[in-house]
Amino acid sequence: MKVIYEDNHIIVVEKMVNIPSQADKTEDVDMLSIIKSYLKEKYNKPGNVYLGLVHRLDRPVGGVMVFAKTSKAASRLSEQVRNKTFKKEYLVICNGKMEKNQDTLVDYLWKDEKKNTSYVVKSTKKNAKQAILAYEVLKYDETQNLSVLRINLHTGRHHQIRVQLSSRMHAIYGDNKYHGRGAGTGICLWAYKLTIEHPITKQEMTFVDFPEKKGMWRLMEGIK
Q: What is the pLDDT of residues 100-157, one digit of tens each?
A: 999 999 999 999 999 999 999 999 999 999 999 999 999 999 999 999 999 999 998 9
Q: Would you place residue 187 in the very low, low, confident or very high pLDDT band (cuts 50, 70, 90)?
A: very high
Mean pLDDT of 45-61: 92
Give backbone dihedrals phi and psi of 148, rounded to 5 degrees, phi first: -100, 125
Share of the chain above pLDDT 90, in %: 88
pLDDT of 119 reads 96
Q: Which residues contact 164 (CB under 8 A, 6 or more apart)?
A: 105, 107, 109, 120, 131, 133
For residue 50, pLDDT over 80 is answered with yes
Q: Where are the alpha helices (DSSP H) in the chain?
A: 31-42, 71-83, 160-166
The three-state secondary structure class of 3 is strand
**CA 19 to CA 145: how far, in whole Å?**
29
For every residue of 136-193, DSSP letters joined together read EEEEEETTTTEEEEEEEESS--TTHHHHHHHTTT-PBTT-GGGT-SSTTS---EEEEE
Residue 182: pLDDT band with limits 50, 70, 90: confident
User: Mean pLDDT over all residues of the chain?
Assistant: 94
For the stretch 158-174, pLDDT in tens is 999 999 999 999 999 99
Q: What is the pLDDT at residue 178?
A: 94
Q: How many CB atoms lie within 10 A of CB 18?
A: 12
Q: Distance between CA atoms of 81 and 196, rounded to whole angstroms?
A: 9
- Is residue 46 scored above 90 in pLDDT? no
pLDDT at 201: 97
**Model confidence pLDDT, tens digit, residues 21-30:** 998 888 889 9
Quote the strand ranges of 7-69, DSSP E.
10-15, 52-53, 62-68
What tens digit of pLDDT does each residue of 200-216 get?
999 999 999 999 999 99
Say which amino acid occupies 182: G
Residue 23: the pLDDT is 86
Is residue 188 pLDDT above 90, yes or no?
A: yes
Looking at residue 45, what is its pLDDT?
Answer: 87
Q: Is the dihedral of CA 42, 46, 49, 50 positive or negative?
A: negative
pLDDT band at 184 (very low <50, low <70, confident <90, very high): confident
Task: Determine the Cα–Cα distance for residues 108 and 90; give it in Å rounded to an integer.
Answer: 20
Domain 3-219 sits in CATH 3.30.2350.10: yes
pLDDT band of 47, cuts 50, 70, 90? confident
Ranges of each domain in the chain:
3-219
Separation of CA 3 from chain center: 17
Average of pLDDT values for 5-13?
98
